[in-house]
Amino acid sequence: MARTPAARARGFTLVELLVVVGIIALLIGIIVATLGPARNKARVMSCAARLKSIGTGVQLHMTDNRDQLPQMQIDGQGVRVPVGGNGTTMGPLFGGKIGLVRPVQGDFGLHRYGAASRPINRYLDVKGAPPDPATTGDESPEAVRKLSEEFEIDVFHSPMDRGFGIPAEFLGLLPEDAAAAGSVYNAFGTSYILNDHAISDAGEGGADPIERPTLIPCRGGRAPRIETPDQTWVGASYAIYNYDAGRDLGIRWHSRDRVEANILFADQHVDTSLPVASGSDLKLLRRFEGGPEWTDNQTSPAPASATNVTLNYSFLPTRDWWTLEESLPCLGQN
């Protein structure tokens, strides 16, 4: 029997379609809002896993090298010198690939020494590394740039790495390499750093800041005894040094409004998204013997050097580090 038009299936009205579209849009918004933090959390955990791998490499290196952290010393011309010689520890050179930074004054060696010679690399199974510019003699910007682009080492590249918040020229990047300011990994060859020196205050009258050693002696060598391995950090994402020398490098990878870092401690545990203290964060700071004087109720910021011991981490291997001869400033080395 034929059905009447009224009995036939009725199509959606325009209002009904708009309601359905609105519901779908709402669901998509909820899903996207949920996926955003989930993706960020995945990047944080991936970064922590890479930091943990670096920690394993550090342990292996120390076992083979009489308790020395991976380190490279350079002279004032950015040329590598033996550990214990008249050189300065250049932190990023502990591991990673070639860097693009070429300071206008001085030479850090970051564009000269890359994957083939940075000491921890062989403990992380880095293979097939091409010769460094220091070996080939070709340190031209084009050659260094090509080397940086063609040989990657993922374990040193934090998925959180969003670079610096300061102009490229202040980092020593050539105009054609300015994009590397958006990646510490590309600028320095690694997103991570080891605990080789304490946070210092800005130098007076334009002078260089006074740098004091922590886990790597001024001229290189064995790490000191660590009294608090669950508090003293060994490796971290580069944000840990954001406020060094009284500056703000703008390394805000986890959050736009504060500096945070993933941190590997001496006991090999990793904590994620820990706040990195500035002199204004008095509630995060801990007093330590020989440290800068400040009060809980003061309104002005504490010195940058007061941030070496916080509620979440410590740069210092012992509680009385500032009273020991080993902690004396690294002066007159070059």
- Per-residue pLDDT band for 1 (boundaries 50, 70, 90) equals very low
Quote the CA–CA distance of 231 and 223 in Å, as a whole number.
16
Contact of 195 with 236, CB cutoff 8 Å: yes
Q: Enter the tokens of residue 21.
A: 């579209």
Where are the extended beta strands (E) located within the chain?
73-74, 80-81, 88-89, 192-194, 233-237, 260-265, 270-275
Identify the residue whose tokens are 């997103």: 191
The pLDDT tens digits of the residues spanning 223-261 come to 999 999 999 999 999 999 999 998 999 999 998 889 999
Residues forming a β-bridge with 260: 275
Sign of the torsion formed by the C-alpha atoms of 193, 194, 199 and 205: negative
The per-residue pLDDT for range 88-144, each reduced to its tens digit, is 899 999 999 999 998 766 688 999 999 999 999 999 999 999 999 999 999 999 999
- The residue-averaged pLDDT of 152-167 equals 96
* Single-letter amino acid code for the residue at 72: M
β-strands 80-81, 88-89 pairing? unpaired
Structure confidence by residue, pLDDT tens digits, 317-326: 999 999 999 9
Q: List the end-to-end C-alpha distance of the chain, in Å, as a whole number.
A: 103
Q: pLDDT digit string (tens) for 269-308?
A: 999 999 999 999 999 999 898 888 888 788 889 999 999 9
**Residue 35 in this model has a pLDDT that exceeds 90:** no
Place of tokens 């012992």: 318
pLDDT of residue 333: 47
Q: Considering the chain, what percentage of its residues have pLDDT values greater than 70?
A: 92
> In this structure, how many other beta carbons lie within 10 angstroms of the beta carbon of residue 134?
19
